[in-house]
Structure 1
């Protein structure tokens, strides 16, 4: 093998951090050492992996191919090291978890303290993305997905289900009045998602059926943004219980059109690659989350 593991780790660190300087900081090396390692790697492979401009570094097509394979190799080495730790009954290693920002903030973050206390040798990397990601591309071990699953190449572990409710703040209802029928929603400020459009089909009975498709006054990519807008009295929103439970208990958000609401339970699953053995750090995390979040 021409290349070394250290060179691969340098290359991946540069791509992840976006610059040679940032990679040097994260790896505890000098900028010149990182630059030399990249040059040496490209010379060995006889290709250009990164295009260097004054503003940024950009992966070439060959760089993208090498990145995917390098990540697999680094992960394989990490897994091999972890297996040795498992033999000593000490689950350890880096665990990368990705979830939509509302689920991360309202469900996972409150569990981190307890998990870290129980598994101090597991290093957590928590990333948020409000769209579905490619696990390999984003170097993710576990992704939390809300709603029906479509990717059959992934293993899935059910974690919970979520009820959807149509909500508004007391301030908004005092200002604009509470709609007493679904038809009256058209006269109100409605808060919806930029995508997917399916999230703008609210579970309300109307003449068209059991879904009411809204025309949002304000759109946002994140449910957490919509929650904050609703709390500020900017309009009516439809959100999952996991992110509004405390707001409803405190009276900051109120459910409306209760009689017209269709019970919709969204599945929440943890997904990971089928061709990857479920390592101890992944199983520890999923077992802990499942035991603490409830149905």
Structure 2
């Protein structure tokens, strides 16, 4: 008997979800139906794919071999369906996007209404996480990452870049004065990141180099928290232009030490696991958001 695509989908779902019951919930089936499908697949193949106990499920060697090929087959089937959709110019399906909260808030959400009008057949699921996630584990189609990429197992597409600037509120500067040279920062209240030390290397040229390491008096793990603190006049901060351009335009924040800025721009990438033809819904979103991000390049 030949293996059917539904059986492959069930097998992959069981592995990705970690249990038959979780896979059943995701697929809208009963656990007994999922279990029967998995057993039927193993019967057709004449081998055990998953060792099942009351506490855990482990892939056999044959299961690991079959899983990689099952994923490839399902991706190829998705690609064929997307190509048919491309001919009709009607991208459809659920698109799961993950990004850090500040990027989601300032660079994606303002454009969602326009995107949905343009592509009404795409169902969006927007998730935020300030840490790097496992795309498969989180069932994510595409993640937006800011900064240099380190994970070579992912396929990446550049979406542009965003300048990093040193900023403060007019109120703070009125109370404490405006620094004229980089060394003046030592006498100011500085706002920095608590989790990523590399973000506390501000893009400022000085006598010893073109990066100024700061010792912040007030730290936070989120760039959005630091933005709010800067707006409240709590100190000087270094943030990317994509999340502060409206504040600068409205005069809520002003650029500090602009003549000393080294011109660093944070890379912005979309990362995903597909190495074959991108699903049309992903391609449409990346093309759309890349055009919008051009306004943040300043």
Q: TM-score range, shorter-chain basis?
A: 0.7 to 0.9
Deviation of the 1:188 alpha carbon: 2.1
For 2:93 and 2:103, locate their aligned partners in 1 and report how far apart those are by CA, in whole Å: 23
Deviation of the 1:190 alpha carbon: 1.4
Q: Which residue of 2 aligns with 1:112?
A: 112
For 2:57 and 2:171, locate their aligned partners in 1 and report how far apart those are by CA, in whole Å: 50
For 2:20 and 2:6, locate their aligned partners in 1 and report how far apart those are by CA, in whole Å: 15
Question: Is the 1:13–1:23 Cα contact (8 Å) retained in structure 2?
Answer: yes
Q: Which residue of 2 aligns with 1:201?
A: 201
Alignment of 1:1-295 (within 5 A): 78-273=78-273, 275-294=275-294
Deviation of the 1:239 alpha carbon: 0.5
Deviation of the 1:246 alpha carbon: 0.6
Deviation of the 1:27 alpha carbon: 6.1
What's the TM-score once normalised by structure 2's chain length?
0.75
Gaps in structure 1 of 5+ consecutive residues: none
Question: Is the 1:78–1:93 Cα contact (8 Å) retained in structure 2?
Answer: no
1:198 is paired with a residue whose SS is helix
Deviation of the 1:247 alpha carbon: 0.4
Question: Is the 1:68–1:136 Cα contact (8 Å) retained in structure 2?
Answer: no
- Of residues 242-251 and 277-286 in structure 1, the stretch that sits farther from structure 2 once superposed is 277-286
2:247 is paired with a residue whose SS is helix
Question: Is the 2:165–2:261 Cα contact (8 Å) retained in structure 1?
Answer: yes
Q: Classify 1:81/1:245 alpha carbon distance in 2 versus 1 (closer, same or farther; 3 Å).
A: same
2:174 is paired with a residue whose SS is helix
- Of residues 232-241 and 285-294 in structure 1, the stretch that sits farther from structure 2 once superposed is 285-294
Gaps in structure 2 of 5+ consecutive residues: 42-46
Aligned-residue RMSD, C-alpha: 3.9
Question: Is the 1:71–1:139 Cα contact (8 Å) retained in structure 2?
Answer: no
Q: Classify 1:146/1:34 alpha carbon distance in 2 versus 1 (closer, same or farther; 3 Å).
A: same
Deviation of the 1:290 alpha carbon: 2.3
For 1:277 and 1:269, locate their aligned partners in 2 and report how far apart those are by CA, in whole Å: 18
For 2:75 and 2:85, locate their aligned partners in 1 and report how far apart those are by CA, in whole Å: 15
Q: Classify 1:276/1:149 alpha carbon distance in 2 versus 1 (closer, same or farther; 3 Å).
A: same
What's the TM-score once normalised by structure 1's chain length?
0.75
Deviation of the 1:127 alpha carbon: 1.9
For 1:51 and 1:171, locate their aligned partners in 2 and report how far apart those are by CA, in whole Å: 63
1:224-281, Cα deviation, whole Å (9 max, x unpaired): 1211111122221100111101101111111112232221122222233362321211
